[in-house]
Structure 1
């Protein structure tokens, strides 16, 4: 119910008050709960899941990268078949051009999806060209 409040704080307050209603009202009124004292953690040690979540959350926020390195735009938008067939060229890149307003919402959605696809494929082409250029520069050095 309150994802921004640490679970330890909620458990500690529930142990103190014995009432979900009082704890919920504290969160709603103050916006936070008191941090448990160190003695609390000797009686109720932190769980492994809580510690992993604490360690993973700052990394995800600072890097801005997906948690799973295999998760990329090609797999997210299921464009593997479009990548496998090298029919896309930079001349076909009209992703940045202004789209026509379609008659129905289905056509507009399909047009938007196609523009997204073209943008992703164009970005992939640019990335591959940059990597090839770096490899070529590294090989000649």
Structure 2
């Protein structure tokens, strides 16, 4: 059997169709790196996809947690790439940001400011490389 990303990765919802019309914080879905039937996944890539964005600033960030309820900011070396700040010029785009820290849980959050009509964006988390694949 060929080795492929399909066999080594799993995608889960990270932020469902957020209509960023209201200023404030939208916490994404908790991503558990210990998925049923698998060992811990070593890394996660968040794929943020935008639809039409009309105004506002939508700052996306990565958070991690030991217990899935107390959230913090990962160390700089645990985040790959730059989490996007989505603006009106970012309609119909895709952004990637990765997490490879040691904590079991991670998620993204989006903080929206200056929005009147805002826009819509969503995110998926792609989990990759279980520890038993070494």
TM-score normalised per structure 2: 0.19
More helix by share: 1
**Structure (1 or 2) with the larger CA radius of gyration:** 1
More strand by share: 2
TM-score normalised per structure 1: 0.19
Q: Which is bigger in relative contact order (C-alpha 8 A, separation at least 6)?
A: 2
